[in-house]
Structure 1
Amino acid sequence: MIVRVHNLRLHVDEEEALLIKKAAQRLGVNPETIEDLKIARKAIDARRAEVYFTYHVDVKLKGGMRLPRSIFRAPDISLVEPVREEPLALGSERLTYSPLIVGAGPAGLFCALTLAEYGYKPVVVERGRDLRRRVEDVERFWQCGELDPESNVQFGEGGAGTFSDGKLTTRIGDVRVEKVFKTLVSMGAPPEIEYLKNPHVGTDRLREIVYNMRRRILELGGEIYFEARLTDLIAEGGHIKGAVINDAIEVDAEVLVLAVGHSARDVYRLLYRKGVSLTPKAFAVGVRIEHPQALIDRIQYGKYAGHPRLPAAEYRITYQDEETGRNVYSFCMCPGGYVIASASGENQVVVNGMSYCARDSGVANSALLVTVSPKDWDEDILGGVALQEKMEKAAYLLGGGGYRAPAQKVVDFLMRQESSSFDRLQPTYRPGVIPANLDRILPDFIAEPLRRALIDFDRRMPGFAGKEAVLTGVETRSSAPLRILRGEDFQSVSLKGLYPAGEGAGYAGGIVSAAVDGIKVAEQIIRTYAPPAKKTVLKDNRLSDARNL
């Protein structure tokens, strides 16, 4: 019998060894009768003057000891039922060629891994480079301002999440979330991600995980090719027949999973030209805000700021603007992180946030985003893309070129005046920032709700809009600006055999939800088709074959 005990509390100064005693007290048993105790959930409660850790724990009793049924009437005690994962029944439709997966981000990799586990020998094509060379390209961009449009923070092995905080929080409540976490742990993620309320792995650990996933897919018979950009779709009679890679290489495929991420604007335009059903959707744009991490720690932890058992503090905050109806909110908050250059297009500035596993930069950053919707661009299908590009080009010009970013102290932004220096906190963005007035790149319908939100945030978190806070712009890639319409069978409603997946398709938001969506698409393919009659191998020396790396 395994029993879950909910909401045990330990003061920040108490050791976790006390959990056995506290669990035994809650169950009314002797601590010596507990054979094993595992943490199922751990969170920080810093809402009051004292700081606590709260736990859900799973308790196994010795010798098959059972508890009286009456104890389960308590709301904080429940029986843990074993979960049995039933294998998928393979479909019967004939599949001549291996499933083709375009994109090696979370959706593409988890889709490929699931298909490979069932013997479908998927082929993955990724426009960017393999992880080692991609990291070199990104570091050169940050140091020298030399952008490679095909190998950058957005494109390459692992997708955009590879250069991030590695946040694994999600609210989707799908049973596949547990599978995602277990897979990540098996690939090198720390085991605690399975029980922390706000788990993260950091960009340094993510690289190890992505590399191990690549190896596993190859071991199971899959194929992975880098520097392989989708440039056309081959279709006949409303069915996918294949794809063209790099304008030259034709690949046969009856099943094509489109997991290209939210920054593949050329793919969006290709789909639009091909008549694939798309619809514009709401998303959000804004800036990154930075504070000294010590300030955020003091705001969140009070007198316990700096306590050795407490991690760098996080926050999540929202504001509903009554004048415009727009929502303003923090997004992808990175404790102890860096604001990073995330452009994928020439002469465009895009910012994002990143942190390493240790979260020890001493600077906290977060996106502050304002919602936008299709009515802001007259419902045009590609209007959201146009809005993003307009803001990114304006930020590049305001930054003076070289992919430097415009930045402004919050106090100056609130007073609508240009910053001249950053005396309290130097922005972390590389290849550098230029003091500026962000009103020159933020439309009024973004800037004004943002100002009102900052005033409200400072009231709730004193110091948030103070002299130590800096804004860097612009952040435009929070999610996809459109959705590739698909049916209940996960196929495009206008092109059979095309399976849109993940963030770029408009069906996910974050590493975990994108991974889950990739798994769901794979499961649908498995239920529909039998494994392919032959394995597809792209024998072309113009492609970078993962097996040779």
Structure 2
Amino acid sequence: MSALLASHSLVMEIIMIVITGIRTGISQGAEAATEKAIAELGVKQNCVKNSYIIKASVDARRRTNISMVYSVGLELTCNEEDAVKAANKPTVTLRSSLQTPLKLGTQKLNSRPVIVGFGPAGMFAGLLLAQNGYQPIILERGSDVDARVKAVEGFWNAAKLDTSTNVQFGEGGAGTFSDGKLTTRINDSHCDYVLRQFVRFGAPHEILYKAKPHVGTDLLRGIVKAIRQEIISLGGDIRFCSKLDNFNISEGRLRSIASGDETLRAQVLVLAVGHSARDTFELLLKKQLAMAVKPFSVGVRIEHLQSDIDQGLFGEFAGHPALGKGEYQLSHRRGDRAVYTFCMCPGGTVVPSASEQNSVVVNGMSEYARDQVNANSALVVSVDSRDFGENPLDAINFQRKLEHAAFVAGGSNYKAPAQTVGDFLKGRTGLNLGKVHPSYSIGTKAANMLDLFPQQITDMMRLGLLVFDSKIKGFAAHDAVLTGVETRTSSPVRILRNEHGESISAEGLYPCGEGAGYAGGIMSAAVDGLRIAESIMQKYAPLG
């Protein structure tokens, strides 16, 4: 994380004691956790200078005895190292925040670095570069977030698709229209920087310690706008409705790029294009950049009543304010294929997410309050080259084929094919609605998912429903609704890069984030953007 402090002239060291595994009742709150942590450490209250909740999570494994589990940070007026030794417990450790600023490179840039894409990867790469004097130019094919919201609502309300500005393309990337989850499985110190920047630009402070932080699509819109304004104030240039149309490589290195009628000299190009930039992938293949197919997943969105999910997870404690809305993440593997839930949106909606004409794509979205009646998540099955071939275009065409089949099955008017779980398990076309009603705004049409997907996928979906029903009662309820198709879970390709983050085919070209095949979700994409920015900063000097 050292590079993340490069824009600060003063590096301060904070030493704290971290006490993990502090367990309280769900009604006791953070104050009780802090008191227990002090008792666990074995010091007097007046020795504590500062205290923090570092992490808070819900343990609902025993639905009759749900508890909160905390990690607490303490700063003392006395010697912290002595206190840790005296406690002599594995749950009590010493943590220092001392970091060394990155040593910036000396090679001169003959042009401003260019970033393609203003989703999480491009945004955080641009932010860090701007904070350190590199004045990036950022190209985003979609519009700014305010115009983007209007375009998206035009599609959702009237089925008028803008192929340049939609759920996939525009300021903030695909994550802007999501639940705004800030969870990740990567263990990287850059995550702390990302979370703190989110708070700095308007996210609630609780994301710094909640085990499953989220900000919701409504708050994300203001946050991405604030980050954009910061980049501009530091000398960056953000150009909306501007797409990478071409680039020139000579003698193994990047020389220039073209966007519309403009040609820009470019020594550094960050490709943070997102997982739906299919025309850009085609351009890269035409230019013979090294790429490979990668596994991804396809399936449907499944909807239940949020109250039923809460009951299935929390039992008699469902609705307790300390627990919030119930969330789940489920998976099952048979052989070398997996079925799992992805991007669960409590109190959310299933949203139309196509970016190409004559296709239907679904995704999930929640606002910060998560106050809609339904819960939804992707129910998806892993696919790989066995299913579509070894060429990156084959993987893209596999997605397109499913999306067009969904368009036709929905009536060729952007309505989505839908089916109740009961009908799906019985193998018959049907949308016999009970208490769960589909939230897809353009409308749905009764279909049979068996007609849309290859059998190996529907077999795994069926298996997943039955297995997951044993974990959350009612998951496979006959009136739960399946809406298709979910195909944009991650990029179908990887743009190959070396240990410095550069394309193995061209010096100066940096594949980055989810679209390049190196991330999955807001947090990991933002972290990859930071790593690429650091790599550029280590090589090149800031602009004069």
TM tier, shorter chain?
over 0.9
Q: Does 1:59 align with 2:70?
A: no
- 1:189-268 aligned at under 5 Å gives the runs 189-246=203-260, 248-268=261-281
- 1:251-290 aligned at under 5 Å gives the runs 251-290=264-303
Q: Does 1:108 align with 2:138?
A: no
- 1:81-160 aligned at under 5 Å gives the runs 81-84=96-99, 86-160=100-174
> Could you tell me the TM-score, scaled by structure 2's length?
0.95
State the number of aligned residues: 529
Distance 1:430 1:93, change over 3 A: same
Aligned equivalents of 2:431 and 2:57: distance in 1? 41
- Structure 2 counterpart of 1:8: 22
Describe the SS at the equivalent of 2:438. Answer: coil
Distance 1:237 1:20, change over 3 A: closer
Note the C-alpha offset of 1:21.
2.4
Describe the SS at the equivalent of 1:198. Answer: coil
The amino acid across from 1:492 in the alignment is: S
Note the C-alpha offset of 1:267.
0.3
- Structure 2 counterpart of 1:164: 178
Note the C-alpha offset of 1:94.
2.3
Note the C-alpha offset of 1:66.
6.8
- Structure 1 counterpart of 2:308: 295
Distance 1:468 1:10, change over 3 A: farther
Deviations 1:27-56 (A, max 9, x none): 223334433221001000011111111000
| Alpha-carbon contact 2:84-2:93 (below 8 Å) kept | no
Q: Does 1:71 align with 2:82?
A: no
- 1:440-455 aligned at under 5 Å gives the runs 440-455=451-466
In structure 1, runs of 5+ residues without a counterpart are 534-549
- 1:404-443 aligned at under 5 Å gives the runs 404-443=415-454
Deviations 1:51-89 (A, max 9, x none): 1110000112346677445335311111122232x2222
- Structure 2 counterpart of 1:546: none
| Alpha-carbon contact 1:141-1:147 (below 8 Å) kept | yes
| Alpha-carbon contact 2:81-2:94 (below 8 Å) kept | no
Describe the SS at the equivalent of 1:215. Answer: helix
Aligned equivalents of 2:292 and 2:219: distance in 1? 36
Aligned equivalents of 1:354 and 1:70: distance in 2? 48
Q: Does 1:368 align with 2:379?
A: yes
- Structure 1 counterpart of 2:483: 472
The amino acid across from 1:251 in the alignment is: L
The amino acid across from 2:396 in the alignment is: V
- Structure 1 counterpart of 2:61: 47
- 1:309-458 aligned at under 5 Å gives the runs 309-322=322-335, 325-458=336-469
| Alpha-carbon contact 2:42-2:87 (below 8 Å) kept | no
Aligned equivalents of 1:69 and 1:409: distance in 2? 56
Aligned equivalents of 2:468 and 2:499: distance in 1? 41
| Alpha-carbon contact 1:72-1:78 (below 8 Å) kept | no
The amino acid across from 1:320 in the alignment is: R
| Alpha-carbon contact 1:20-1:34 (below 8 Å) kept | no
Note the C-alpha offset of 1:402.
2.1
Aligned equivalents of 1:149 and 1:285: distance in 2? 22
Distance 1:29 1:530, change over 3 A: closer
Aligned equivalents of 1:61 and 1:54: distance in 2? 22
> Could you tell me the TM-score, scaled by structure 1's length?
0.94
- Structure 1 counterpart of 2:5: none
| Alpha-carbon contact 2:432-2:479 (below 8 Å) kept | no
- Structure 1 counterpart of 2:527: 516
The amino acid across from 1:515 in the alignment is: A
Describe the SS at the equivalent of 2:245. Answer: strand
| Alpha-carbon contact 1:321-1:453 (below 8 Å) kept | no
Deviations 1:322-351 (A, max 9, x none): 4xx310001001111111111000011000
2:493 corresponds to which of 472, 482, 488: 482
Aligned equivalents of 1:83 and 1:112: distance in 2? 25
Describe the SS at the equivalent of 2:538. Answer: helix
| The 10-residue stretch of structure 1 (355-364 or 27-36) with the greater mean CA deviation from structure 2 | 27-36
| The 10-residue stretch of structure 1 (375-384 or 266-275) with the greater mean CA deviation from structure 2 | 375-384
Aligned equivalents of 1:170 and 1:479: distance in 2? 14
Q: Does 1:37 align with 2:48?
A: no
Deviations 1:299-342 (A, max 9, x none): 110110011222000001111124xx310001001111111111
Aligned equivalents of 2:45 and 2:244: distance in 1? 60
Aligned equivalents of 1:531 and 1:83: distance in 2? 24
| Alpha-carbon contact 2:360-2:404 (below 8 Å) kept | yes
Aligned equivalents of 1:503 and 1:60: distance in 2? 38
Superposition CA RMSD, Å: 1.4
- Structure 1 counterpart of 2:6: none
The amino acid across from 1:183 in the alignment is: Q
| Alpha-carbon contact 2:16-2:80 (below 8 Å) kept | no
Aligned equivalents of 1:495 and 1:69: distance in 2? 51
Note the C-alpha offset of 1:196.
0.8
Note the C-alpha offset of 1:16.
2.6
Deviations 1:106-153 (A, max 9, x none): 110111111111111100010000010000000110000000000000
Aligned equivalents of 2:455 and 2:490: distance in 1? 21
The amino acid across from 1:330 in the alignment is: T
Distance 1:66 1:107, change over 3 A: closer
Aligned equivalents of 2:292 and 2:353: distance in 1? 25
Aligned equivalents of 1:118 and 1:16: distance in 2? 37
- Structure 1 counterpart of 2:11: none
| The 10-residue stretch of structure 1 (154-163 or 12-21) with the greater mean CA deviation from structure 2 | 12-21
